[in-house]
């Protein structure tokens, strides 16, 4: 069986990932707020941070969608092969 279909995220791993994301986001925003910058520089860094976070979520979704599509294709191929094997009669005299 494929490892992608068997791998499930545990609640502890999900919580760890969510906390790590929150801490890193707060650290980045805190750095932007407390750096000695002009307001336009602060806004530019804030806009950049927003684009980085949203593009990271988009990239993660695209990767997940590609993995799910590959998993579905693998399952369909396995089902086709199993059906061919089940329908095959080695004692048939069609040759």
Q: How far apart are CA 73 and CA 90, in angstroms?
A: 28
More confident residue, 74 or 19: 19
Q: Does residue 3 surpass a pLDDT of 70?
A: no
pLDDT above 90 coverage of the chain, percent: 56
Residues 74-77: contacts with CB under 8 Å, at least 24 apart: 74/2, 75/2, 75/5
Question: Could you report the per-residue pLDDT of 8-51, keeping only the tens digit for each?
Answer: 789 999 999 999 999 999 999 999 999 999 999 999 999 999 99
Residue 1 banded pLDDT, cuts 50, 70, 90: very low
Can you give the pLDDT at residue 7?
Answer: 63
Q: Is the pLDDT of residue 61 over 60?
A: yes
């Amino acid at each position: 069986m494929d490892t992608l279909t068997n791998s499930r995220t545990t609640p502890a791993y999900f919580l760890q990932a969510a906390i790590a994301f929150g801490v890193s986001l707060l650290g980045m925003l805190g750095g932007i707020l407390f750096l000695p910058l002009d307001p336009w520089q602060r806004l530019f860094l804030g806009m950049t941070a927003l684009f980085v976070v949203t593009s990271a979520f988009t990239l993660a979704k695209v990767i997940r969608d590609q993995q799910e599509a590959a998993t579905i294709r693998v399952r369909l191929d396995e089902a086709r092969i199993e059906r061919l094997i089940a329908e095959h009669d080695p004692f048939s005299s069609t040759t």
